[in-house]
Structure 1
């Protein structure tokens, strides 16, 4: 498979727009992109056998919000740890998510929206599906992207925080710091900015959506309404 075979941004946008147009989709739609290595000429693990690829899969579906962003969500801490970069680098957005699925099962069993995953040293990495932020004394803190996916929404929120004058820092964060935070919220494609009101049965601050979370949500909403590429149909 040659590097030139990989679709560029123009081709990917065209594929997305064609899929949305064919299904009459404009709002309330979630799109997942998967790029495979393509068809193999024989069985085996070597990428050299993938000589008929790659294949771009555009999966668009009608999807309601997955979290309660008005009231906030509850989280539990999973025993399943986030993959260390020595095993599967979290900066690669891959489809090998068995660890995250196992953590999600723990969250389901606990009756919470999702589960927090710790790194191999016991620090907070992310949830099974979203990135995490906390606010303490007006400062925004988020786990360094060594054991978590550096999400697009995560990056956007970090830029918005800085543009609104908030101090932001990436570093290792313990569960105890999240327990004692003034505000906690999760970020992701489907939830955007989701307030976290309880972790492991401990209420975060007063159990209500905090003012800084509301401020960032308003800024994010304004950004998504004014930026991006308009649908050509």
Structure 2
């Protein structure tokens, strides 16, 4: 079982899900891609994690915008237009009878099959590979309510000239090595710094602190343009809460009133400990903190309002 914000409630229905591979549905045990696929050989591709609320893939347009922008940045042709991909996603949900909450989708697009294991995109001999994996997955209630621990790792978020962190690519080794170090230190997830030593993000989520009634998150220069991150910033400002994107250090983090992380899967999750230090509350105090609880409620209402708009097909 994974740890941190991606802990989930096991659901036996996942053993019989249908997975969409290039427009064709396969039982879980029969869904396969080639060993010559660019994603398997090189991590050459882009992906999105999507959340279903009341049968609606919430913020789907924003996720597809990021997916297609990432594909364009690496000169990869997705092969189908956004409306067709949107239709394929919903067809996959419908064939799996997934019309309720508690569904998470992994959408993966790779450059396609290669003639030989080699990095040059010009040896690709197929269209892009598009895989849709829908699963019944709910975050553990104790994760959302009691929070997680973080450990600041030595693995940094890289310079965009090395590998741009804004690209949601299949190649996640930077985040994986950070996750390993945090796990070996006994924490749930890794807190990662940028090349200058300022706080950047976590290995699989975005990081926020609460300081004197304000929300702070990183400048965004060294992290993925998170959909949930951006939504939380927007909602906070709409509700009269000062929300800043800025450089700040571990000194600010250790002295924060509260801390939390954001992600598509679990939404807003409180952080109770960073590098062995309790953040913002004593052990006997209730979690999540006041600001985190307020933002969780605001975010939940927003998801319901977005789902009420329907599929938009």
TM over 0.5: yes
Q: CA deviation at 1:216?
A: 1.1
C-alpha contact (below 8 Å) 1:41/1:51 kept by paired residues: yes
> What does residue 221 of structure 2 align with?
146
Render the CA deviation track for 1:67-101: whole Å, top value 9, x for unaligned: 71111111111121122212110111101111111
Structure 1 segments unaligned to the other structure (5+ residues): none
Deviations 1:11-69 (A, max 9, x none): 12111112112222233221111111123355543323335212211111222315711
CA distance in 1, matches of 2:212, 2:249: 17
Contact 1:195 1:209 in 2 (8 A): yes
Q: Tell me if 1:216 matches 2:289.
A: no
Summarize deviations over 1:169-223 as a string: whole Å, max 9, x none.
Answer: 1111111111101111100011200011110111112144221211111111001
Question: Structure 1 residue runs of 4+, over 6 Å off?
Answer: 1-4
Looking at structure 2, the residues matched to 17 and 128 of structure 1 have their Cα atoms a distance apart, in angstroms, of 29
The equivalent position to 2:119 in structure 1, one of 23, 39, 45, is 45
Contact 1:91–1:150 (Cα < 8 Å) also in 2: yes
Equivalence for 1:11: 84
Distance 1:31 1:5, change over 3 A: closer
For residue 264 of structure 2, the aligned residue among 189, 194, 200 is 189
Change (3 A) 1:42 1:111: closer
Paired with 1:63 and 1:129, the residues of 2 have a C-alpha distance of: 17
Aligned-pair RMSD on alpha carbons? 2.2
Give unmatched runs, 5+ long, in structure 2. Answer: 1-71
Choose which of 125, 129, 136 in structure 2 pairs with 1:62.
Answer: 136
1:127 equivalent in structure 2: 202
Give the whole-Å Cα distance in 1 for the aligned partners of 2:92 and 2:183. 33
Say if 1:47 and 1:106 are closer, same or farther in 2 by CA, change over 3 A: same
Q: Distance in 2 between matches of 1:6 and 1:125?
A: 33
Mapped to 2, the partners of 1:104 and 1:177 lie a distance apart of: 22
> What is the TM-score when the length of structure 2 is the normalising length?
0.69
Aligned pairs for 1:89-100 within 5 A: 89-100=164-175
The 1-side partners of 2:78 and 2:276 are apart by 50
Q: Is the 8 A contact 2:77 2:111 kept in 1?
A: no
Structure 1 residue 3, shift from structure 2 partner: 7.4
Question: In structure 2, what is the Cα distance between the partners aligned to 1:15 and 1:85?
Answer: 33
SS at 1:111 equivalent: coil
Number of equivalent positions = 232
Question: Residue 106 of structure 1 contacts residue 115 of structure 1 at CA under 8 Å; is this kept in 2?
Answer: yes
